[in-house]
Chains A and B, each alone.
Chain A
């Protein structure tokens, strides 16, 4: 069965510090992968996606993620965190035959210290 794991439930970083959120997947074939962000009371906003090709993908708000097939990982990074980045981040995986059926990780709540 497909699964997505985000090992860190909460992460706190200082404003201006770098950030890495971890995501590991277990999928039958090479999945396509997404990172979404959710602010309190809001829906999910797409940060970036990986379908194929270049394993380092750039997204909005200065985020990037790297697909590592050998580690079954798709970690999200940002070189310098802003206070407005405080939110919950979700990693999700889907398959080419799965339509819009995504499997989500449990989420990582990011807090930013001033």
Chain B
């Protein structure tokens, strides 16, 4: 079956703009989480959604937000982009209940200029 799908794969934005990234989880998975990967900070947890509710949140400013739809697809939004937001944004999905295997997508590369 199809894996975790993220769109767009690559994008360039200007400082001050906003961006929306999309994630389609593996079929049947109800939990979607987002991670930011940068050379300096490594992989950092942003937030997790389960059944359209935010279940966990990492230590990021309020400019980073997300949501999940009834079909488990998720979007994350970053407003007022800063140069430091340039990163690979990874989406992960799992069944969501109990202890589950967590699968990652290929990521969305965001460059802020």
Chain A residues engaging chain B, CB cutoff 8 angstroms: 32, 34, 36, 42-46, 49, 51, 90, 92, 94, 96, 98-107
Contacts and interface: CB of A to CB of B under 8 A. Distances in A.
Nearest to B55: A99
Q: DSSP majority for the A interface?
A: loop
Contact of A49 (B6, B35, B90, B101): B101
Interface residues of B, number: 30
Interface in B44-60: 44-45, 48, 50, 55-56, 58
Q: Which of A34, A46, A99 has the most CB of B within 10 A?
A: A99
Contacts of B44: 104
B56 A98 contact: yes
Contacts of B48: 99-101
Given A43-B90, A43-B107, A44-B90, A102 B42 contact: no
Contacts, number: 66
Given A42-B106, A46-B103, A90-B43, 18 more contacts: A36-B104, A43-B4, A43-B107, A44-B92, A46-B101, A49-B101, A92-B43, A94-B99, A94-B102, A98-B56, A99-B55, A100-B31, A100-B96, A100-B102, A101-B56, A104-B35, A105-B42, A106-B42
Interface of B: 4, 6, 31-33, 35, 42-45, 48, 50, 55-56, 58, 90, 92-94, 96, 98-107
A36 B105 CA distance: 12
A37 to B, nearest CB: 11
A102 B107 contact: no
Contacts of B42: 104-107
